[in-house]
Amino acid sequence: MKCEQQVEAALKSYEDVDSWKTVIFLYNAALKEVGTKLEILNDEFQHVHQYNPIEHIKTRIKTPESIVKKLKRYGYETSIENMVRYINDIAGVRLICSFTSDIYRLAEMIGNQSDLKVLSIKDYIKNPKESGYKSYHMLVSVPVFLSDSVVDTKVEIQIRTIAMDFWASLEHKIYYKFEGNAPDYISRDLQECAKMVAELDDKMLSLNEAIQECIVQAENRDNMDGVLENVIGNRKEQRSLHLDKAAGE
């Protein structure tokens, strides 16, 4: 049974409860499930590698106004059924990372979760939108365990760097003010800013890789110094024993 059908079946089970509240309950539960998984992954990475790939996690449920606008834009009537069927980002999680390399590492870790099903992927990092928008989108379904059933519920996960998130947040605010019809010169300036953000991400990634290489080299030198100290110490000890033995004879 598809996610949409399972949600619709759950709605019928709660016919005496407001349908909107039931749907929001399911999506909130799905957000909690995904959020917990991501926090565990982040903690595990810190435990194993002494490094946190996730800077912070944002979650949100789409507002009724945003859902209605999106349905109208897609050409569908406003209804709970259409909302569940055609709006994939009602429940959204945003993962903010330090570096672009973290994005694909996290995406792989999420995809390896056995009880998460990846429904679709949109890689706007390798294929940015015309506006300059960059992010990695994963649509997943997560099982929500109820008292008498299990409902697979859709959650959209967006993974991006701090710089990408900064640009996307400002772009959203600007276009919201102009209701999606910003003047051409503003669109061009935003595209230029997107290029600067991409260059910044590339530079910061290169710096991080250089720093990590320096750390490895320093550790190797420390290890070599330790080996040399042991070798020299052993030789001194052997020489001392040899001299003591000769003196005794």
- 147-151 contacts: CB < 8 A, separation 24 or more? 148/13, 149/6, 149/9, 149/10, 149/13, 150/6, 151/6, 151/7, 151/9, 151/10, 151/26
Q: How far apart are CA 141 and CA 30, in angstroms?
A: 8
Please choose, from the candidates 171, 204, 200, 202, the residue with its C-alpha nearest in 3D space to the C-alpha of residue 188: 171
The token pair at 134 is 């960059």
Cα distance between residue 217 and residue 1, in whole Å: 54
Is residue 213 part of the annotated active site? The answer reads: no
Catalytic residue among 8, 33, 156, 171: 156
Q: H-helix or E-strand containing 33?
A: helix 19-49
Contacts within 8 Å (CB) and 24+ apart, 38-47: 38/93, 38/95, 38/110, 41/106, 41/109, 41/110
Q: Strand order in 91-97's β-sheet?
A: 54-61, 91-97, 150-161, 136-145, 117-123
Q: Which residues are catalytic?
A: 156
